[in-house]
Amino acid sequence: MSNQEEAIKQWLKDNRARGTRFLQILVQENSIRGNESSAQAVIIEKCRQLGLNLDIWEIDRDEIKNHEAFCCDRDSFEGNPNVVAVLKGAGGGKSIILNGHIDVVPVGDEKNWTHDPFSGQIECGKLYGRGSTDMKGGTAALIMAIESLIATGTKLKGDVIFQSVIEEESGGAGTLAAVLRGYHADGAIIPEPTGMKIFPKQQGSMWFRVRVKGRAAHGGTRYEGVSAIEKAVVVIQKLQQLEKNRNIKITDPLFNNIPIPIPINIGKINGGEWPSSVPDLVVIEGRMGVSPEETITAAQAEMAAVLNELNVQDKWFQANPLEIEWFGGRWLPGNLEVDHPLMKILSNSFEKVKGEAPVIEASPWGTDGGILSNIGNTPVVVFGPGITAAAHDADEHIILEDLFAASKIIALTILKWCEVCD
């Protein structure tokens, strides 16, 4: 290990309390959608202290709303800025984007929490609170990595572009706005809660809604009607078959340990108005997983084609065709070669810090990495200290040891990727 590396690791070891305190303050600022500004203020102040070049702007909806990857039902971004902070390199090295989202999901039923969701309370080496794992912990790891480079006087050739974006949990308008503002790089790390696994590929996803029609009748003469519930069962079975067919085709070894690489989840069903009437409408809503090897459009077309088979084969659906709607959330898949140089350097850094090889897998969910790679043409790896299962849950928390390890691994990766000036 080089002296530079040793110095960085030592600084990070000596400044654990500093990193912990920073995450605590960040968690204490509730940054639910539409309320991101105070947490962003903590980020901005930190970046200012570090001497980074700050770019703070409110997204102009009108400017990006017609982009194909725009997927957002928020009227206004006023008062809640995106933040990009650049550590300018000397030139001649590769640049890197370090992307974290500042928005957190709602607390849910507060009765299920044993810790105050915005306390940042620490217990047995874990820091608790909404966003601690998803993904303010990851953001804190990025900031600590950058600070360690500055504090140890490291001069880099390539640019380090830190991003604290809004809207990840609702479709990625924050990262899209950053891409469209011109931020690209030779590589990117997104420290989403991977539980210290490395995800070069990410499952994309989108929401669908299918309307299944029936014909009403009195329940006592139900044979005079057509039950939308019975017809919905046919649709559900068709979608189950589609899921099966799609997953058989997934042979990428990164999915080896994942029972259903790209699930079709039927999340909601609602139909009928009266126990003794034949229901004339059922609405099904769900989430379709998208393989890293395919496009959103191709996956949508595949589901539409399968439903269209029913519209052709089934006499009832011939006259009352199924209608599919793609609504709400949409997350582009991500797909980086396992032997990409960024993967190699990150894996190498992981081994240096942890003394063992990392687990490399495909992620079961999409991240802003889909936008960064597909729209921004920036190779993306997702790797972070948060706990996958703790995200969005009550008593969300992060293991502080993982946060410290991740900040070291990321700092060493930046060092190799951007290169140190001679």
CA 98 to chain centre: 14
The answer to whether the beta carbons of residues 163 and 175 sit under 8 Å apart is: yes
CA 252 to chain centre: 21
Write down the least CB distance from residue 109 to a copy of itself, Å. 12
Write down the least CB distance from residue 227 to a copy of itself, Å. 7
Asked whether position 329 contacts a copy of itself by CB under 8 A, the answer is: yes
Among the listed residues 386, 364, 373, the one whose alpha carbon sits nearest the alpha carbon of residue 340: 373
Write down the least CB distance from residue 220 to a copy of itself, Å. 4
Interacting residues with a copy of itself between 2 and 41 (CB under 8 A): none
Write down the least CB distance from residue 214 to a copy of itself, Å. 11
- Residue (276 or 313) nearer to a copy of itself, CB: 276
Query: Integer distance in angstroms from the first to the last C-alpha of the chain?
Result: 17
Count of residues engaged in binding a copy of itself, rule: CB under 8 A: 48
- Residue (121 or 265) nearer to a copy of itself, CB: 265
Asked whether position 50 contacts a copy of itself by CB under 8 A, the answer is: no
Asked whether position 203 contacts a copy of itself by CB under 8 A, the answer is: yes
* Sheet bearing 122-123, strands edge to edge: 122-123, 126-128, 397-399
CA 9 to chain centre: 28
- Across 387-412, b (16+ Cβ under 10 Å) vs e yields bbebbebbebbbbbebbbbbbbbbbb
Active site residues: 103, 168
Write down the least CB distance from residue 342 to a copy of itself, Å. 24
Distance CA(150)–CA(134), nearest Å, equals 26
Going residue by residue from 256 to 285, which x/- string records binding to a copy of itself, judged by CB under 8 A?
---xx--x-xxxxxxxxxxxxxxx--x--x
Q: Which of 365, 395, 419, 420 binds a copy of itself (CB under 8 A)?
A: 365
**Options 8-16, 81-89, 116-124, 358-366: segment touching a copy of itself (CB under 8 A):** 358-366
Distance CA(421)–CA(157), nearest Å, equals 6
Distance CA(422)–CA(416), nearest Å, equals 13
Q: Two tokens at 409?
A: 């691994």
Asked whether position 328 contacts a copy of itself by CB under 8 A, the answer is: yes
Among the listed residues 364, 356, 360, the one whose alpha carbon sits nearest the alpha carbon of residue 337: 360
Asked whether position 286 contacts a copy of itself by CB under 8 A, the answer is: yes
Asked whether position 106 contacts a copy of itself by CB under 8 A, the answer is: no
Asked whether position 300 contacts a copy of itself by CB under 8 A, the answer is: no
- Residue (17 or 111) nearer to a copy of itself, CB: 111
Write down the least CB distance from residue 269 to a copy of itself, Å. 5
What residue has token string 């500055």?
A: 150
Asked whether position 98 contacts a copy of itself by CB under 8 A, the answer is: no
**Options 31-39, 129-137, 201-209, 299-307: segment touching a copy of itself (CB under 8 A):** 201-209
User: What residue type is 11 in one-letter code?
Assistant: W
Write down the least CB distance from residue 328 to a copy of itself, Å. 7
Asked whether position 326 contacts a copy of itself by CB under 8 A, the answer is: no
Interacting residues with a copy of itself between 207 and 236 (CB under 8 A): 207-209, 218-223, 227, 229-230, 232-233, 236
Asked whether position 392 contacts a copy of itself by CB under 8 A, the answer is: yes
Asked whether position 289 contacts a copy of itself by CB under 8 A, the answer is: yes
Residues that bind a copy of itself (CB under 8 A): 203, 205, 207-209, 218-223, 227, 229-230, 232-233, 236-237, 240, 259-260, 263, 265-279, 282, 285-287, 289, 328-329, 364-366, 392
